[in-house]
Structures are given as structure tokens and as C-alpha cells.
Structure 1
Amino acid sequence: NALRFFNVYGPGQKIEAYYTSVINTFIQRIRSGQAPTIDGKGEQSMDFIHVTDLAKSVVAALESEHDCKPINIGTGIDTSIATLAKILIQALGANVEPIFVPRDVLVTRRAADITRAKNMLGWTPEITVEQGMTELVKAALEQG
């Protein structure tokens, strides 16, 4: 099967990785007492999938006897950048509010259709964005 991974994140992620850079930037700013800055209203969204859930999907695909078809691996939930900022602020226990920079932004919304993953692989994600991001923050704090 051909697995299509959406926005993968988790402990050990590279700071400069394109899809995780917004997470890392927000964490760094919040940790230093600064508010995360968001272009527009923060309505643009991504489907963040935890690396542990992704690994389980790969195992399920390897064990699957279905014909090769593209299968989306995500949560099926789009998390807006504004929501992501709030989740990270809460996980860090910070007393800051996001700063919204008025700017014309192309609002894109991405959520994976994981129907095939459920039906063909018997796989569903188990880690919510709130749980996963909190775990990520704890790992970041432990690393210093």
C-alpha cells in the first residue's frame, strides 16, 4: 500500500523540518515568555499525526493483505494554527496570548480522509493533538 503521511510530529523531530517548524517556533517563543505570532486569524489548518500512530499505521500496512492503494495517514481532524498555539501555551503553562498579525493569508484547511486506513488496515489514530503536543512539550523541556 502507498501511505500518504500528513503532518507528522513527535519527540526527536528536527527543528528545521517544514511541517513542524511552526510547532518548534511557537514552543521556543512561548518558553522565552514571548507570545506566538500568527498571520491573519490563524484559520489555516493542518492535520497533525503523532509519530507513534504513524508507526502503527506502517505496521498495519505491512500486515495488510489488501491491494495497493493510496491510504491517507492522519487524524482526520484539521487543527487550526490558532488552536495549535493555544494547545502549546496551555501545555507550557504560560501566561501569554497569541498575537494575530493582520495580513491577507490564503486559508488552507487540511484534514486527511482516513476512511481507507480504517477499512483496509483496521487502523485509527489513538493520540489526540492535545495529548501529543503536551508530550512533545514535556520532551522539549526535558532536553532543556
Structure 2
Amino acid sequence: MARSIDYGNLMHRAMRGLIQSVLEDVAQNGLPGAHHFFITFDTTHPDVAIADWLRARYPEEMTVVLQHWFEGLEVTDDGFSVTLNFGNAPEPLVIPFDAVRTFVDPSVEFGLRFETHSDDDDEEDEAEEEAAEADAPAERPHAAEVVSLDKFRK
């Protein structure tokens, strides 16, 4: 079997590490300036912990906003937990990074989108099952910019 570099999973891991770093900074220092986050996640992921009424209302995916009111933001290597306000009712959420589908900071037009491609009939495609894509901004998913690194080399 030929060995190949799994760029999709490597990019996925790097992008989740970026989200982890950003959330760790916010947990320690709060949100700077106008920054805020829209985080969409898969509510069917087995490690997602949300109230039953939220799971019933959002059976497949849910988008939460970290902006004006949130508390108890804790970040681990596997994900994060936070308490958000839903109609004046605080609800704790536990969201693993593997469940995150999009992470957007509209204040700076930055976004990440995680795509999953599956093909049960082809074993080679299983290695590429989770491909990652970075977009800027996320609202325009096909507006990515390619930057040459040559100008930064000495």
C-alpha cells in the first residue's frame, strides 16, 4: 500500500489548534475590541453535551455566538465548555473541537469551515474523509486568497 501525506487531516488539526488558541486567550483575557465568534457545531456528535430542549430544537447542527454574555469558558485539548444565555436562561454547553463545523469572527472577516467527505465504498477515500477548508470571510466560502511566501524569505 502506498503511503501518502494526509493533508486534509493535518489541516483539520492545525485549524482546530488555532480555534483552541483563540478560545484559550479569550478565556484568560476576554474578547478584545469588536471580536466575537459564530461557532456552528454538529449536535449529533456523541461528546456534545447540551440541554435536551436544545438538542430537540437543533437536531443536527447549532450555531452559538460568543459576544456580549457568556461565562465559564473553559478550553481543553479536546474542546470547550461555556455557559450561554438562551432567553434569559443560562445553559451550559460542552463542544468538542471535532464537532465544530464553522468558526467565524465577522469583526475581521475571518472564518474556518470544516467539511466532511465520506465514501463508504472506497477505503482510500476514508483517509481523506475529513478534509478542511479555510475561507476568508466564511460568508463567501469560495473567496479564498492564495499568498506567496517568497516575499517573506530572506
Determine if the TM-score, normalized by the shorter chain, exceeds 0.5.
Answer: no
TM class by smaller structure: under 0.3
TM score, norm. by length of structure 1: 0.25
- Of the two, which has the highest radius of gyration? 2
In terms of fraction of residues, the more strand-rich structure is 2
Relative contact order higher in (CA < 8 Å, ≥ 6 apart): 1
TM score, norm. by length of structure 2: 0.24
